[in-house]
Chains A and B, each alone.
Chain A
Amino acid sequence: MQSEEWKFTAKDIAEKPDLFMSGHRACAGCAPAAVMRLILKATRGPTIVTMATGCMEVVSTIYPYTSWAVPWLHTAFENAAANASGIEAAIKVLRKKGRIKDEHVDVIAIAGDGGTYDIGIQALSGAVERGHDFLFVLYDNEAYMNTGIQRSGGTPLGASTTTSPAGEVIPGKLEPKKPIADIMVAHEIPYVATASPYYWRDLIIKVRKGLEVEGPAFLHVFAPCPRGWRSDPSKSIELSRLAVETCVFPLWECINGEYQLSAPSKVIAMAPQKKKPVKEYLAVQGRFRHLFTPKYEKLIDEIQRITDMRWQKLLKKCGIA
Chain B
Amino acid sequence: MTLKEKEKSWKEISIAAVCWKPSTEFLTGDWKTYKPVRDPAKCTRCLLCVIFCPDGAIHWKADRNDIEFDYNYCKGCGVCANECPVKAIEMKLE
Contacts and interface: CB of A to CB of B under 8 A. Distances in A.
A37 B22 CA distance: 15
A22 B77 contact: no
A62 B1 CA distance: 13
B79 interface: yes
B50 A31 contact: no
Interface string A187-229: 0000000000100100000000000000000000000001000
A254 interface: no
5 contacts: A28-B77, A30-B77, A64-B21, A226-B77, A238-B82
A24 B23 contact: yes
B70 A22 contact: yes
Contacts of A64: 8, 14, 19-21
> Which of B56, B59, B83 has the most CB atoms of chain A within a 10 A radius of its CB?
B56
A22 B19 contact: no
A21 B19 contact: no
A200 B52 CA distance: 8
A62 B26 CA distance: 10
Contacts of B50: 10, 14
Top 3 A-B pairs, shortest CB-CB distance: A234-B78, A23-B23, A29-B77
Contacts of A310: none
A23 B60 contact: no
B19 A33 contact: no
A21 B24 contact: yes
Nearest to B70: A22
B37 interface: no
A200 B55 contact: no
Contacts of A37: 53-54, 56
A142 B22 CA distance: 29
B38 interface: no
Contacts of A238: 82-83
B15 interface: no
Contacts of A60: 23
Interface stretch (A65-73, A105-113, A270-278): A65-73
A13 B59 CA distance: 11
Contacts of A63: 13, 17, 19
Interface in B21-46: 21-28, 31-32, 46
Interface in A230-283: 232-238
B74 to A, nearest CB: 9
A25 B47 contact: no
B2 to A, nearest CB: 13
B73 A22 contact: yes
Given A30-B54, A37-B54, A65-B21, A25 B28 contact: yes
B63 to A, nearest CB: 11
A13 B70 CA distance: 18
A10 B52 CA distance: 11
Contacts of A22: 23-24, 28, 55-57, 70, 72-73
A100 B37 CA distance: 49
Contacts of B82: 234-235, 237-238
B53 A34 contact: yes
A60 B75 CA distance: 15
A28 B26 contact: no
Given A234-B82, A237-B79, A14 B51 contact: yes
A18 interface: yes
Nearest to A201: B51
B19 A234 contact: no
A181 interface: no
A25 B24 CA distance: 11
